[in-house]
Structure 1
């Protein structure tokens, strides 16, 4: 009983890391229009506050993943969380001082720090747990990530009622809570072996990719596509809600956007608890999840002008994503030994970040041409991912290192 309690305490500490990762970005979205007004920024300039964060994180994740393979994971996560919060305070001061260059610089630093948080926490979960416990923890991390996306627009909107720059200063408090939880509640096992020499490490990494290239690239692409679609569709839905005849904004809009994300959270958590180390079940759930995405987006292509129908189909698509992501997380995290796990999972996390960053601008551009065409393109991409998963991901496809 005590061991089970200790496990859930550590699981809860792990869950705070993706939560603050999301809050540090998504909580700012509701105040971007006010920020642009007060700082006299163009739409492009204000969007860079979000985009540069994601791009910076995506670019630095592989490098920081490599560092985490060379040292203890917490030695990366703890300073990253501290820098994340400190840069958040400076970003808030830049907003108060009306200094856009400093604001952008600090958001880039926050992105760099974010690269050492949730992606490395995933690798640490793989170090500490196996089979059912690993998938359960990773499912909780994915659910926490989704929960952050549910509450962050609402928190951002509420804080924005007080002051448009209040979310910048609120975030470091959340970050401090996660930092304390990671330091005191997560007991990282000691590294049994010394890090390999750099040349030997590169040889081994190449060997892992040589053996697993087809299914790993398929898994990386499926994860990035899932988040690209999720965030792109939510961005389109957010824009649709603000325009006539709906004109829904603020907390009410955040509540409506929370509906699809709630579907993702509940499904991801349940999937993580179910799959354990059952590779056949993982493959089946990934195929079901992608099929659900294809069918729901096909329906959205037809009925996208009806708000209730669109929210319903987006929610169903999010449920499909909730089936897909925990399976991908577990397979990718478990495919390599501890000495290489940081790098293998970091490339996956990097593509997820870039998928999130690419969604809103590409959706905005394509929707400006034709909303129907937008959903047709998404259906084609999802169907292609479904075929690739069917073709390349199957029980026995995964091997570990080159030995």
Structure 2
């Protein structure tokens, strides 16, 4: 097996700059799940409805998604390091402003500003890690998705612990951690001697015309609806306090990280990328449907949430690898294009889920999420012919591994 899917030795032996960016990624992804355990607390403290509190996700994700379309344009002109630093600085500023806010509408607005910083950072971070990691793009993507999983795990836990003191405390906590990440990247990440060629402003939009990237982006829209219904709506039917919600999603995030690091590479030793997705997406739909049935039983719902984390970790890694391998586009363009659509799909999910829950009961949002996962499966199945390059590269690696094994046996 080539280093493309080596999640062992090559993954751990990386330059310090890679670890600095990876640490910052962990903190950046903490920001997504940070508000999860304090949603009910914010609703009580600021006299907000469930739909209003879910807009804390939506404003963040909408701006993140839209801004992703221009991040490659910006970073190709000012450089990856400056783009990362500007993104981190904006996150620090807007997380502090969230902590100091006195009304839910103001917090929603500042979360939008936070999303701008997040967009500048995340799309550039993926391209930076892929470019700097030793061991091939597969090792880089596993490391990136592991950072995502750990951030998703630690974010709710930190939010739950600090949220016991005040709903403002988690926002202050993220500001401090992001300031540390800012210093780490400033000191450890060197700017390349040559700046990449300027990327046209419309490049990420034009990239979606590529059949392979278009199919993967459309799949990601519906997949991320399922993802964010599970993440954003579940705190309400669980009925736990901030610590209980934080611990639940800590387990979910750890499950996501485990399968990102080990589960996805293991499956890819035996199956093509599209086959893995066509197996795991229906399993995710089934898990969400079961969550809708058992939603009134907290222990059963927690189990479904953690199982969902296991399945989401596999999908995240395989989808991201597929995007990086699907075209010959610059990594920044492919990452920006795919990530924009991915986050915009997720942005619609939280308020729709809250509205469905309010109108039809807690089962409805999970059935909506399960249906979205099935639509993602259908999109991928219908567009599979466009993904021949993605699957062919995995097949080449498997043939290489078999040849090496035969040579060793001889």
In which range does the TM-score fall when normalised by the shorter chain? 0.7 to 0.9
1:303, 1:309 within 8 Å by CA — same for their partners in 2?
Answer: yes
Alpha-carbon offset, residue 85 of structure 1: 0.8
Tell me the residue number matched to 1:79.
86
Tell me the residue number matched to 1:293.
284
Could you tell me how far apart the structure 2 residues matched to 1:42 and 1:372 are?
A: 19
Q: Which residue, out of 315, 331, 335, partners 1:345? A: 335
Could you tell me how far apart the structure 2 residues matched to 1:39 and 1:377 are?
A: 28
Summarize the alignment of residues 160-239 of structure 1 with structure 2, pairs less than 5 Å apart: 160-187=163-190, 189-191=192-194, 194-195=197-198, 198=200, 206=206, 209-210=208-209, 212-213=210-211, 215-239=212-236
The DSSP-based 3-state class of the residue aligned with 1:60 is helix
Distance 1:369 1:324, change over 3 A: same
Distance 1:336 1:128, change over 3 A: farther
Q: Which residue, out of 91, 94, 109, partners 2:98? A: 91
Alpha-carbon offset, residue 309 of structure 1: 3.3
Could you tell me how far apart the structure 2 residues matched to 1:337 and 1:71 are?
A: 23
Tell me the residue number matched to 1:382.
373
Q: Which residue, out of 289, 307, 314, partners 1:323? A: 314
Alpha-carbon offset, residue 265 of structure 1: 1.4
Q: Which moved more, 1:306-315 or 1:353-362?
A: 306-315
Could you tell me how far apart the structure 2 residues matched to 1:348 and 1:41 are?
A: 33
What do the CA deviations read for 1:210-261 (whole angstroms, capped 9, x no partner)? 4x32x3222113333333212212334321121xxxxx21212321233333
Alpha-carbon offset, residue 329 of structure 1: 0.9
Whether 1:144 and 2:135 are equivalent positions in the alignment is no
The DSSP-based 3-state class of the residue aligned with 1:256 is helix
Whether 1:124 and 2:116 are equivalent positions in the alignment is no
Alpha-carbon offset, residue 105 of structure 1: 4.3
Could you tell me how far apart the structure 2 residues matched to 1:55 and 1:137 are?
A: 26
1:135, 1:326 within 8 Å by CA — same for their partners in 2?
Answer: no
Summarize the alignment of residues 30-109 of structure 1 with structure 2, pairs less than 5 Å apart: 30-39=37-46, 41=48, 45-92=52-99, 94-95=100-101, 98=102, 103-109=107-113
Tell me the residue number matched to 1:245.
none
Unaligned runs of 5+ in 1: 243-247
Distance 1:77 1:42, change over 3 A: same
Alpha-carbon offset, residue 35 of structure 1: 4.2
Q: Which residue, out of 253, 259, 271, partners 1:267? A: 259
Could you tell me how far apart the structure 2 residues matched to 1:56 and 1:169 are?
A: 21
Could you tell me how far apart the structure 1 residues matched to 2:244 and 2:390 are?
A: 46
Cα RMSD for the two superposed structures: 3.4
What do the CA deviations read for 1:22-51 (whole angstroms, capped 9, x no partner)? 333432343444445555555555444443
Could you tell me how far apart the structure 1 residues matched to 2:224 and 2:145 are?
A: 12
2:41, 2:167 within 8 Å by CA — same for their partners in 1?
Answer: yes
The DSSP-based 3-state class of the residue aligned with 1:7 is coil
Whether 1:356 and 2:349 are equivalent positions in the alignment is no
2:217, 2:341 within 8 Å by CA — same for their partners in 1?
Answer: yes
Q: Which residue, out of 28, 36, 40, partners 2:35? A: 28
Unaligned runs of 5+ in 2: 1-8, 393-410
Tell me the residue number matched to 2:4.
none
1:218, 1:385 within 8 Å by CA — same for their partners in 2?
Answer: no
TM-score by length of 2: 0.79
Could you tell me how far apart the structure 2 residues matched to 1:269 and 1:257 are?
A: 18
1:57, 1:111 within 8 Å by CA — same for their partners in 2?
Answer: yes
What do the CA deviations read for 1:306-327 (whole angstroms, capped 9, x no partner)? 4333333333333222111111
TM-score by length of 1: 0.81
Corresponding residue pairs, total: 381
Tell me the residue number matched to 1:7.
14
Could you tell me how far apart the structure 2 residues matched to 1:9 and 1:175 are?
A: 17
Could you tell me how far apart the structure 2 residues matched to 1:29 and 1:310 are?
A: 16
